[in-house]
């Protein structure tokens, strides 16, 4: 698929056989300031660890791309779940809202805006 900033593919980790998502960013024509911002974000995400935030596992780079190996989120997103279910019980909605708010709060405390 395609993420907001580049291509995203599923891959199997050679060492663990774990299914991962690999985001690919082209660095061709990237100016030095954008490159520094990318690696600043990578550094922040490598340190993040929260059950409701997708974990960045590894980073690779070649002469023209940066590859971010991340946890694969295989379930449906909230919009898809709502479209299928049409309604949520109040308790289910409260749990989903709490998880999202905890994730956003965690990101904000680490200097990340989502």
The number of domains in the chain is: 2
pLDDT score for 75: 82
pLDDT score for 5: 63
Q: 72: closest CA among 54, 59, 60, 58? A: 54
**Which residues carry a binding-site annotation?**
23
**62 and 79 both lie in a single domain:** no
CATH at residue 11: 3.30.200.20
**39 and 68 both lie in a single domain:** yes
**62 and 80 both lie in a single domain:** no
How far is it, in rounded angstroms, from Cα 69 to Cα 60?
A: 8
pLDDT single digits (tens) 30-54: 899 999 988 888 998 898 999 999 9
Burial degree of 68 (CB within 10 A; 0-12, 13-18, 19+): buried
pLDDT score for 56: 94
pTM for this predicted structure: 0.78
pLDDT score for 72: 93
**DSSP secondary-structure letter at 39?**
H
* Domain around 37: 1-74
**30 and 55 both lie in a single domain:** yes
pLDDT score for 101: 95
pLDDT score for 111: 81
Q: Which residues of the chain have pLDDT under 50?
A: none
**Which residues carry a binding-site annotation for ATP?**
23
């Amino acid at each position: 698929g395609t993420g907001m900033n580049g291509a995203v593919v599923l891959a199997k980790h050679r060492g663990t056989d774990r299914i991962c998502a690999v985001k690919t960013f082209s660095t061709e024509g990237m100016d030095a300031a954008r490159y520094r911002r990318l690696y600043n974000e990578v550094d922040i995400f490598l340190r993040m660890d929260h059950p409701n935030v997708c974990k960045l596992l590894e980073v690779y780079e070649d002469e023209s791309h940066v590859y971010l190996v991340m946890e694969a989120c295989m379930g449906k997103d909230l919009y898809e779940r709502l479209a299928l279910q049409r309604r949520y019980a109040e308790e289910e909605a409260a749990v989903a809202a709490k998880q999202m708010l905890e994730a956003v709060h965690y990101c904000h405390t680490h200097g990340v805006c989502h």
